[in-house]
Chains A and B, each alone.
Chain A
């Protein structure tokens, strides 16, 4: 079944989000490395997208008409692999091998390693360009798939993002590419406002995009924002989701220390308890 027949309810989506969060903290704990903060912040965006918007067939991941999900913020692999496993692209059992020798689940995405991974990323700023190639190819071949590109806000520091941002409206690809920004406000070295203070909505508007802003952890709001992004518009759409780095685990929330650090055993137990508590 390539497409989702009926919209999945917000409460079901929230259940999926909790499972994804549990995977994330466990994967990073077992690997004792990885990026929990920017994985936890992206969960609602990813879940709403993969269950209610992305046209895909997990059993036939290379289906030519599929929508492409391109993870440009490649360090968010715990989120990405957990999402793909929960959506049925591969067995969740694979998640345990994350970042270990012999596992297909490298620290950053490697195209073709597991079904659903569309692009090799990890060096930031390259996803939107890659999506343009997909979209132009789709236009040339008369296919009507969409490319959904997820970027981080720290990633917007990269110049290539803006090389691509100017090209999307120029090539009139607004109905083929939808950008999403996980605006969690923290990057590798600290708070974005200290590292490089930027104003993403104004930047995107300046490049000719229609900006849709939402609370990135309000599942209904995220679902609604993605629906709005799908509507035809004379400008390309970008969803700027305001999120909290480390969302769902109190001691990781808004804590730059957990951008790329694993929890201890005690912290894992506490994190899982908090995530499960969220199940109620």
Chain B
């Protein structure tokens, strides 16, 4: 099923690894946490570079303002918390203190525990709005990596831009999709499987599920392309357009509500460039407690659901 047989690593575990890598490469990184550093893994960076890391206590708004002040002095300022609080608890600070000044200050949000797979903590901790909020901040790049390697490279990549960014990581350990030969590119989809009948466009933990769905579809003779659309913003318009031209049917899949995230971004490209049958798989209701893999089934974020959505979308082709 969806729960990996051999868990590899959580995407959040890539955070301190990437920050240390950035400092070693000469990037003037500072980082802040808001009393969740044991979960965001930010404490590991703090242990390595104590003068470059601070905990601000349970105060996300203050954390954003401090990061903006750092960035105004030329620092690359990372901030970390749960995706339910960052950006939810500090959206106005991100807008006023980070997004608007000078076209965007160099503040990078790495929000862990995204989506419903945070698990037992229940609805209040399950962020299904963060991508809608983050993509609405004009200068922000928004990235949802699928595995540890992708997350490590994505954080290093955004750490080298001068723009603000939002990277969402997850709590559970997930199977590796990539090895170290992979090269993450900001704004570029990665085609993990080719196909002619339908394209499954996914981000985050749904990428592995989309690959499983493609295998189910293949057994029925349906050929599905799978795109890892790690970068939600800027979206890879060419990859979306090619999928529309080549396969004529699209299914988006994300651990987020279907408004304002990956599905909306893909649909906009299709509406502008080439109207194409599309289905949206996501989470459009508030959650409950459970183990992370139980919750994926509870919310029907499963290979079976994606396969059903693919068949339904293919049927709408003319």
Contact = CB atoms under 8 A, between A and B. Distances in A.
A264 B102 CA distance: 35
Interface string A125-153: 11111111111111011000000000000
Contacts of B70: 133-134, 136-137
Interface in B79-107: 92-93, 95-97, 100-102
B32 to A, nearest CB: 9
A123 B96 contact: yes
Interface of B: 30, 51-52, 54, 56-57, 59, 61-75, 77, 92-93, 95-97, 100-102
Nearest to B77: A133
B61 A130 contact: no
Nearest to A125: B61
10 contacts: A64-B73, A120-B97, A129-B66, A129-B69, A133-B73, A136-B70, A137-B75, A140-B51, A163-B57, A164-B65
Contacts of B72: 111, 118-119, 130, 133-134, 137
A166 B69 contact: no
Given A132-B65, A133-B73, A137-B73, A119 B97 contact: yes
Nearest to A121: B96
Interface in A142-184: 159-160, 163-164, 166-167, 170-171
B68 to A, nearest CB: 6
Nearest to A112: B102
Contacts of A33: none
Given A134-B69, A136-B70, A164-B65, A129 B97 contact: yes
Nearest to A161: B62
Contacts of B101: 110-112, 119-120
A131 B52 CA distance: 17
A163 B62 contact: yes
Contacts of B54: 136, 171
A138 B93 CA distance: 22
B61 A122 contact: no
B102 to A, nearest CB: 4
Interface of A: 64, 110-112, 118-123, 125-138, 140-141, 159-160, 163-164, 166-167, 170-171
Nearest to A122: B96
B69 A136 contact: yes
Contact of B57 (A119, A130, A132, A167): A167
Nearest to B52: A140
A163 B66 CA distance: 11
Nearest to B96: A123
A171 B127 CA distance: 31
A41 to B, nearest CB: 23
A175 to B, nearest CB: 17
Contacts of A163: 56-57, 59, 61-62
A140 B92 CA distance: 27
B66 A126 contact: no
Nearest to B61: A160
A163 B63 CA distance: 9
Contacts of B57: 163, 166-167, 170
Contact of B30 (A110, A125, A140): A140
A170 B55 CA distance: 10
A112 B61 CA distance: 22
A167 B102 CA distance: 26
Contacts of B71: 133
A160 B89 CA distance: 11
Contacts of B102: 111-112
A195 B219 CA distance: 68
A118 to B, nearest CB: 7
A167 B66 CA distance: 10
Nearest to A127: B65
Given A119-B68, A129-B64, A130-B66, 17 more contacts: A111-B72, A118-B72, A119-B97, A120-B97, A126-B61, A129-B61, A129-B93, A130-B72, A137-B69, A137-B75, A140-B30, A141-B73, A159-B61, A160-B59, A163-B62, A167-B57, A167-B62
A160 B97 contact: no
A138 B61 CA distance: 21
A118 B96 CA distance: 13
Contacts of A167: 56-57, 59, 62, 66
